[in-house]
Structure 1
Amino acid sequence: MLAWLAYVLASTEAMTGGDWETSSAMAADVWLVLTQSHFGRAQWVAGLGAALLCAGAWAWYDARRRLRAVMPIADDPRDRHHRREHLQERYARWVYAAGAVILALARASTGHAADASMPWLAIGIHTLHVAAAASWTGALLVAGCAIPGWRHWPVGARAAYGDRLSSVATLAMVVALVTGAFNAWRTLGENASLWFSAQNAPYLAWLVTKLVLVACAALLGAWNRWHFLPRLALDTGETPLDTSAFARVVAIEALVLVMVMSLAAKLGTTMPPGV
């Protein structure tokens, strides 16, 4: 939520010049942007998404905290005594997912997709692209935080987590690549020669750099999936299993994807070819 507020403030400064002598002048400009521009209307939607994200995350954490605070009952293997907590946990995931989709939609509607000839189709595809890219990056960032402490996990848990991580990252990567290809085709259109003109050199340079980094991330993910992940399946608990290589590749892939997201933000503020 704080990040969203900072983003709105920074965008307002860029749009209005930011020559504020008092806080009331700043607030007036922020309100003007939020009420009199397409960007501002999209930020109301983004604010709703951010609020749902926070609410879902807190509700999930609260349910998990209460479940950990009590011992399971022996004659209740299905844990019916804590049905309320399990329902809260389930609903929290739906609220969080809804917030993520709304936030992705708000981000997509303020990019180049809004200028397309069929804006709702372009915005819908770009929403999928943003959501997939965020899921890919987020899954790797969470894994980077979880893996250092997984030596204390039960036998088989590391292999299960690694397999799920790989599946989620692969699906997100495929969706991001397909929707990204559509975005490139929509931007390029039938004027391929425009991409290589001098005026479009900055956009092309940023795009090529982004694609190179995406390829690097995909190769790192494939390396982990086909080389290191099978080793996790050998985890029987009888001998210590060295997972440092798997963790390093995950960390590097996450770093590369953060760079990709930064370049995507730069592309969103760079004039595309043919405009």
Structure 2
Amino acid sequence: MSVITTPDGTNIAIHRMGAGRPVLMLHGLFSSAAMNWMKFGHAKLLADNGFECIMPDWRVHGDSDAPTDAALYTPGVLVRDALHIVETLKLTDYDLVGFSLGARTATSAVIAGLTPRRLVLGGMGIEGLSNWQVRSAFFVDMIDQFDEIERGDPAFMAKSFMKGQGIDPVAARLLLTKGVEDIEIAQLSRITMPTLVLIGDDDRDNGSPEKLRDALPDATMAVVPGNHMGSVAKPDMGRAILEFLS
């Protein structure tokens, strides 16, 4: 593991695996590089087939800093972190993969100027790009009601996952409420590289993947088994990413 320090002083952990064509892999909310990409073998599969997996932990997640200063959370902070990582590592010819929050951030980062050869958007539908306040409200409420949530509550699984990942609730709430901004659907026309919309067959947590595919200039869609939490835990996801990037 290495560390990249952002301009606001936040240390971002960077995990690497393999040697070859760089692929920047962005994990989902309350997860980590280890959980999304390494635990279930996706990074190893890519590394075994000629890719170098570069896997940051977002601020608040994994081995990265989780600052609780509200001034360090302004709209687009994760996008700026992604741009800083690409600039610091001098990535020019690379691929970009994101899952859930990582896919959302990858979309914004490409609109902001990143130019990967190929782009994979996992666990994402078009509504998940443009209604962040609605999507994030569930998690903010879960944090606010954290101590009262018991087994059987719809938020219990999210609470358990967040707790198991060691997420600081204060930092997480700041990120959810201040650090993420909506994406204008009209801006999707700027994403011109070949793009794979990768979705679980029982995953509509972020809306319609079909509408997202259709809104992108050069996109295809692949369906793998599982719901939003489960699809990333199955080898089918890694195989679909490898097939598209190869």
TM over 0.5: no
Structure number with the higher helix fraction is 1
Structure number with the higher strand fraction is 2
TM-score computed with the length of structure 1 as normaliser = 0.28
TM-score computed with the length of structure 2 as normaliser = 0.30
**Higher-Rg member (1/2):** 1
